[in-house]
Every structure is written in C-alpha cells, then in structure tokens.
C-alpha cells in the first residue's frame, strides 16, 4: 500500500482542538488594542470535519474502486459512526471480516455496495450473509504536499 504519511508522530483525533485562540491583547502602556473586543477563535478544522468526536475515526484507503467519486488510494477518510447510513452515503462496511469503502445502495428493502469504478463489481450480500455498516464516510483528506 503506498499510503501517504503526513507524520508518524502520535496525533490524537479530535481530543484536543489544534487551534490556537487569538491571543488576548497584552497591553504594556495603557493603549488598549483595538482587536481586544473582537477576540474570536480561528476556524478549527477538527470542529468542521468532526462534529461527533467520540464517534469519529480516521481510516486509510487502499485500492482504486472508489476512484470516480474522488477517493483514491492512500486518502484518509473521516468516518462518523454516529450517523445512520442511508442510500447514497459512502460507507465503511465489514465484508468477511475486513473493512471496505463503497457507496451504499438501498432500494426496495435490498442493499448492495457499489464501487465507483466500472472495473469493480458490486457487492451483494448472499443469502444469510449480513454486511455490517461500520460507519459513514463524511470527508476525505487528500494531501498534495507530503
């Protein structure tokens, strides 16, 4: 697997927001900073991408079956287990004990997992086989600079 490695240092997911608050103005000589009254928090990527931190996990993609939806080998996916998967969602599913990324199709009480690449067949549960939906993919992270 040719995964892109951003860093090998441990990085807790969403436990601590990585944002630095706008510094409160420190005043030495009595002139109040005009920014002081407008102190706000800088946009926090974690907050935007991870609305349910306890339920969110990062997963790495291996393979090209989701290519046409812009999900490529080595991409990182944010997977949210708090969402209920519905028709059309990109999901992480458990097929024969392994994780797989596909698009969920649910029509007339039947489900199948569709690839976004014509060279890959759909996964249709056989009789008696249950396919567990592990979580819903809410975003993908693609690095252009290693």
Partner 1 sequence: MYALVDGNNFYVSCERVFRPSLNGRPVVVLSNNDGCAISRSNEAKELGIKMAAPWFKIRHLEESAGLVGLSANFVLYGDMSDRMMTLAAGLGPTQEIYSIDESFIGLHGVRGDLVARGRKVRERILQWTGIPTCIGMAPTKTLAKLANHIAKTAERKPGSYPRELAQVFNLAALPAQDLDDLLQATDVGDVWGVGPRISEQLREGGIRTVLDLTRMDPATARRGWSVTLEKTVRELQGQPCIDLDDAPGPKQQIACTRSFGKPVHQLAPLIEAVSEFAARAGEKLRKQNCLATELLVFMHTSPYRPGPQCSRSVVVPLRRPTDDTLALAKAATDGMRFMYVAGYQFIKAGVILIDLQPASVQQRELDLGDPNEPPATRDRSRLMAAMDLINTRFGKGTVHSGGTGNPGTNRVWTMKQERRTPAYTTCLADVPVARA
Q: Name the nearest CA neighbour of 57 among 89, 82, 86.
A: 82
Q: Is 60 in the site for partner 1 (CB under 8 A)?
A: yes
Total residues contacting partner 1 by CB under 8 A comes to 44
Q: Which listed residue (46, 76, 111, 139) binds partner 1 by CB under 8 A?
A: 76
Binding-site member from 22, 58, 86, 124 for partner 1 (CB under 8 A): 58
How many Å apart are CA 137 and CA 122, to the nearest integer?
18
Closest distance between partner 1 and the C-beta of residue 37, in Å? 30
Check binding of 2 to partner 1 (CB under 8 A). no
29-68: b (≥16 Cβ within 10 Å) or e:
eeeeeeeeeeeeeeeeebeeebeeeeebeebebebebbbe
Which of the residues 33, 64, 65, 142 is marked catalytic? Answer: 65
123 near partner 1 (CB under 8 A): no
Catalytic residue status for 3: no
Burial class (CB in 10 A: 0-12, 13-18, 19+), 85: buried
d(CA 58, CA 122): 24
Q: Point out which span in 27-35, 36-44, 57-65, 104-112 binds partner 1 (CB under 8 A).
A: 57-65
Q: What is the dihedral of CA 89, 94, 99, 105, to 10 degrees?
A: -20
Set 64, 102, 114, 142: catalytic member: 102
Contact residues toward partner 1 (CB under 8 A) are: 1, 3, 5-13, 15, 52-55, 57-66, 71, 73, 76-77, 81-82, 92, 94, 96-102, 115, 132, 134
């Amino acid at each position: 697997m040719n995964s892109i490695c951003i860093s090998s240092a441990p990085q807790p997911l969403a436990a601590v927001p990585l944002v630095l608050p706008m510094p409160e103005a420190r005043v030495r000589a009595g002139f109040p900073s005009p920014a002081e009254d407008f102190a706000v928090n800088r946009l926090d990527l974690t907050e935007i991408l991870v609305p349910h931190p306890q339920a969110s996990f990062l997963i790495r993609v291996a393979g090209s079956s989701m290519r046409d939806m812009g999900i490529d080998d080595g991409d990182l996916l944010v997977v949210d287990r708090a969402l209920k998967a519905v028709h059309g969602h990109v999901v992480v599913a458990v097929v024969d004990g392994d994780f797989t990324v596909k698009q969920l199709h649910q029509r007339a009480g039947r489900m199948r997992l569709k690839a976004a690449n014509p060279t890959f067949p759909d996964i249709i549960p056989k009789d008696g086989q249950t396919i567990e939906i592990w979580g819903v993919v809410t975003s993908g992270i693609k690095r252009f600079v290693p």
